A and B are shown apart, each in its own frame.
Chain A
């Protein structure tokens, strides 16, 4: 868990990037910090690995103040992915990815096994890519390596600074999906900065909305859409999106069967396919980790997660019609 306590950041020219921010980023969750440019979101994130230092206030990781920690050691224990990727062009993919394990002094076998495992996880075949150089890869592939590099030292916390915004729309969508899937395996505490609300709604467990150095609202994607705290948040999410979501709330589950998984091993509660989306949300609220087994008669026709429902609600009319 990362906790900010009355953190203020004043730059030498007098501008205040952060004004008395207090918040908590829960462990093992993906927290997205979002806001217009200049709102202080990147500054906030960079304070976690001491790339920026607060002018006032304190930051705790698992209740330990980070001022007690050596900055080099701290950074080696935190994964870091940046927008401009920043792979080292003179090193092979394997060398790039194994940088932090090397700094940590891992033995070679452990290092290699770890890199192979992570490359597999991100869909890059180790045998093909390990000995290649960054400039031989596409942007999307490079950023996958960027993610592998961040995860290589097995950090508990991973910071991601607009990691997908420099990519083309298709790669971006792919990497968002992959990150979501990856997170379900690795359960890291991820702090993800973006200015793209679609991205935030898609991947976040918790969203922190910021404006001019202050936190406007903290909540789940669902909460943000249902109960935006103020006019700014409402506008930032987009009136259109909220309206769509409301209208969709009354639609029936059976219209969205194609979005749901057909198999599910975990816990599930049954719900008739005739129920509305709103009813489904309501039922899920009590046990967000469960899935809904959507039934038609006695037969289960699909398993829906809260995220699937949200996706359904955010889909455009024409996409549903198809």
Chain B
């Protein structure tokens, strides 16, 4: 059962990259803003469809009254992310994007977890240092490969 949910988590990573690529490709054809409108209209359509199919007796009223207004602003951040993503995807190889987004996500993620739970997880930090080290190792491999590729055409010209 744990493995099933581990696989689901793994798949969430695949859909993140796939959606990023598809949206960037559509943005290339019809424009960034237009592609983002399409992304959200399609998203709303299918999330309403899912709600009606899976949870016909849903409640449109929050279960708690103590919801601060900024809880509703996540959707706006989603817009910011998609705009940045559409700009960055054709300019930076997907692997670099994955590394840097991870670094930013992890740093703020650990800070938020710390702030919310008031407890700091040393294992999480230790594990993430390993993860960053692995990413960095691969990043250096990429850099060396790029240097080699830069050298070759220069040699041909001389």
Partners in one complex: no
Give residues in A with beta carbon < 8 Å to B.
none
